[in-house]
Amino acid sequence: MPLTNQLKNQHLLWRAAFGPMAENVGELEQVTQKQLFLLLQKKSAKKPDALNVATNSLDGLVKGVQDLGRMQQLTQDQKKQMRRQSVEDIKNLNLAWLSEMINSEAQLREKMSLFWHGHFASRVINIYFQQQLLNVIRENALGNFGDLLREVSKSPSMLSFLNNQQNKKQHPNENFAREVMELFTMGRGNYTEKDVKEGARAFTGWGFNLKGEFVDRPFQHDNGSKTFLGKTGNFDGDDIIDIILEQKATARFITRKIYKFFVNDEVDNEKAEWLAARFHQSNYNLGQLMNDIFLSDWFYEEKNIGTRIKSPVELMVGVRRLIPMELEKPEMQLLFQRVLGQVLFYPPNVAGWPGGKNWIDSSALMFRMRLPQILTNADEFLIKPKNDDDVMMGNEGVDKRPKVNKLNVTVDWNSVVKVFIKTDKDSLMQKVNGIVLQTKSSIDPGVLKRYIDNTSREGFIKSSIIELMSTPEYQLC
Amino acid sequence: MLLKRKEFLQIGSLATASMMMPRFLKAFEKTTWVPAGNKVMVVLQFSGGNDGLNTVIPVRNDIYYKVRPHLGIQKDKALQLTDDAAINPALPFFKELFDEGNLGIMNNVGYPNPDRSHFRSMDIWQTASDSNQYVTTGWLGRYLDNQCSGCDKPTQALEIDDVLSLALKGNDLKGLALKDPKKLYNTSNERYFKEINATYEHGEAAADYLYKTLSETLSSADYIYQQSRRHPSLQSYPPTELGKNLKTISSLIMSDINTKVYYVSLGSFDTHVNQEIQQKRLFTELNDAVSAFVKDLKSNNRFQDVTIMTFSEFGRRVAQNASGGTDHGTANNMFFIGGGLKKKGLLNAMPDLNDLNEGDLKHTVDFKSVYATLLHNWLNANDEKILGKKYEIMDFV
């Protein structure tokens, strides 16, 4: 496939956003990458509206209970009710965010947020905590990494997930301090076990109340002197974060991870070093880092285009952006996430989703290749995802039987067909191909011809899009 | 004569499969088949955290009855195994297996710093990692990486499910999940998939990887389906999910398929409430399905080639809770079933209820040592490479 302007713009849209939309894919032949990126940036400049889906019934339950100590006042049944309600509300949070990814103009912000959602991975079944963490991430996604890190580190979601509530002067718990260094900032090899111990001492006392507010509990805090990464002082958690941010290793680690997510699994060391140095110099300005990447020439090199395996969420959202549709049962998207191994708000562990080839095994690939047909009513959904006992909480019978489901989707094919209004019949196939696939390899036209509906122009466009999406190539962007 | 015919059939089916393969892959194809009569491991996962103390019951332990006044299973109701231990009354076939010397029970299996989240603890068991370590490959996936580099099909490890567990995902190779051979065959038998696969030339590394997976899936689907029909099981199985799954496994074990590991789950054992009813229902399903499976293997003379291992992500707390159930705990027991066990019966001491860690059992056996034993002694694999460390090899298989 030649590196056309259209292809490069689509490349930008797949990486910095969730792929081209039917409504604007026609304009991509003309604009430059710079114009397009500046537009993406502009649309993401505004502070996002916070997502709020927590059911009111929970508020009543929580009201009056000021801190976790008094959580004991809730009966066993109330606690259970709270958890069940949280599970339901988190499903709604998932769908609400998914809808932002599909429809929001702030594509760059939502895409960055998805990256941070996997980076600051927290798996707690508490709707308030999850919602608050997501909003912290969405607000700071393109801002300053130091601010983001500090706010995440003070979020009840992360403090509870990594047991810092139990990190007390008398009994330090190292989990939080360790993951902040290993997974959130510097990565292995840039600190010692001693630094973990000393860091944990500095974080003692950091906790939260039931209203989901950060609290610094002075009586739990270890006021003694600590030596951390070569510095000695009476450090608290904020000091530790400051010292971590001073380290070039932090800028390097974050930059490499961003490079892997947005550019290529194979990191180009020279480019990454250049980016990291500028990121560090800018005092962790994420907006600038993303500029550096998306305004560079090397980002649009052939080796970076069509070579990344889409995550399940990117795959689903991408289909829904190119083909506008309304789902009668949007909750089916949660089942797809489960079958494909990426349920938002349920990362496998604090290290997040490993990504890349890890998304792909036989059954996952077969399902991915059927997804476009399922989403457009051409196929049934007959797969039973694995149960999650943390979510089911001993509730037998949920999802016991395999689901037999037609999705009942209303597809707005008109918007899609309109894209090709000026394309003559002979170049139609090539044009559809150029919009759907980003890869160098393509589907054998002879094979494709046998599966495409030739009876009408509309049928031709519809069937060729679906067939091209039902391929290994479409898994890549 | 028969053998020759089989060989012929294999070569025949291989030829069809290879015609459907993208050209760039053909060079890698191997024609080695694992001969029949070869050892097989079936991993049976109890999802949700099975209550080990009501599975193998310490019938002479006063503490047990004291902390489980309602939930404790009385000695006269349980099925006696030894003086000290009895088995849950819903598992009469396991008692039979115990008496005939085909059941091994390992008590107090766990790991240091146990995690009480289902997902995380299952992650630890499936990846065979330490509890402060995050590993993205499963122990059986790494077994594939290690044993099968150059194998042309991912059929060495099969999971009977719609979705593949992390346990079977390796770095380079992954097992294959199928609910049943027919369904897999039907899904992958779409002509379109076969044709795009056959005409694929060569692309970027990522595209090659996807086509390699597609290609293996299509040829494996064919292969598994053909194999599963070769010796349809004559044994009748209970019409439960586990019954059907074990019947599928049996039909494959009786064939000449090269599968070494089968993986299947039963659940949910998360018995916070009304444990007695829920555990009984699941154990009845387990008991009847395993009973049919063992009879099937025995009548086909394959029981000595098969070892079943059971595990759960954690056991439950020693004391009952206020809702007729038990909450998440730590160490647990594991069953080993097979005609090839070297040691049988109770393989180690029953849990010490006098020595608890805040109401939870302390583990005395690291589960990774159990994995090492099965990998080394049963599957003849390099346990140290697969587990990343040398663990004690035990002598039960």
Cβ distance B271 to A394 less than 8 Å, yes or no, reads yes
Range name among A4-18, A75-89, A155-169, A338-352 with the lowest pLDDT average: A75-89
Phi, psi of B47, deg, nearest 5 = -80, 140
CA distance B159 to B262: 6
pLDDT at A68 over 60: no
CA distance B388 to A100: 43
Domain annotation for chain B: domains and CATH numbers: 39-387 (3.40.720)
Size of interface A-B (CB pairs under 8 A): 160
A394: which chain B residues are within 8 Å (Cβ-Cβ)? Answer: 48, 268, 270-273, 325
Cβ distance B134 to A443 less than 8 Å, yes or no, reads no
pLDDT at A304 over 80: yes
Q: What integer is the mean pLDDT of B207-226?
A: 94
Cβ distance B187 to A175 less than 8 Å, yes or no, reads no
Nearest Cα residue to A347 out of B161, B129, B119:
B119
Neighbours of A368 (CB within 10 A): 26
DSSP secondary structure letters along B19-69? HTS-GGGGGG-----PPSS--EEEEEEEET---GGGTEEETT-HHHHHH-T
Task: Measure B163 CA to nearest chain A CA, in Å.
Answer: 6
Distance of CA A201 to the CA centre of its chain: 32
Nearest Cα residue to B371 out of B338, B330, B336:
B336
Assess contact for A144 and A286: CB atoms under 8 A.
yes
Q: Is A306 on the interface with B (CB under 8 A)?
A: yes
Cβ distance B117 to A390 less than 8 Å, yes or no, reads yes
What rounded mean pLDDT belongs to chain B? 90
Task: Measure A355 CA to nearest chain B CA, in Å.
Answer: 10
B207: which chain A residues are within 8 Å (Cβ-Cβ)? Answer: 306-307, 439-441, 472-473, 476
Residue pLDDT, tens place only, B78-98: 999 999 999 999 999 999 999
pLDDT at A470 over 50: yes
Nearest Cα residue to A107 out of A7, A33, A13, A24:
A13
Assess contact for B312 and B47: CB atoms under 8 A.
yes
Compare all CA atoms of chain A with the CA of B189 and give the residue at the minimum distance. A366
Does B32 or A159 have the greater pLDDT score? A159
Assess contact for A10 and A16: CB atoms under 8 A.
no
The alpha carbon dihedral of B313, B317, B323, B325 has a sign of positive
pLDDT at A392 over 60: yes
pLDDT at B39 over 70: yes
Assess contact for A375 and A319: CB atoms under 8 A.
yes
Residue pLDDT, tens place only, A112-134: 999 999 999 999 999 989 999 99
CA distance A375 to A316: 9
Highest mean pLDDT among A75-84, A395-404, B102-111: B102-111
Q: What torsion, rounded to 10 degrees, do the Cα atoms B147, B150, B156, B162 define?
A: 120
Q: Which of A76, A386, A394 sits opposite B163 (nearest CB)?
A: A386
CA distance A203 to A239: 10
Nearest Cα residue to A16 out of A330, A263, A373:
A263
Nearest Cα residue to B322 out of B67, B53, B64:
B67
User: Both tokens of residue A99?
Assistant: 């809808």
Range name among A68-72, A131-135, B128-132, B141-145 with the lowest pLDDT average: A68-72
What rounded mean pLDDT belongs to chain A? 91
Neighbours of B324 (CB within 10 A): 16
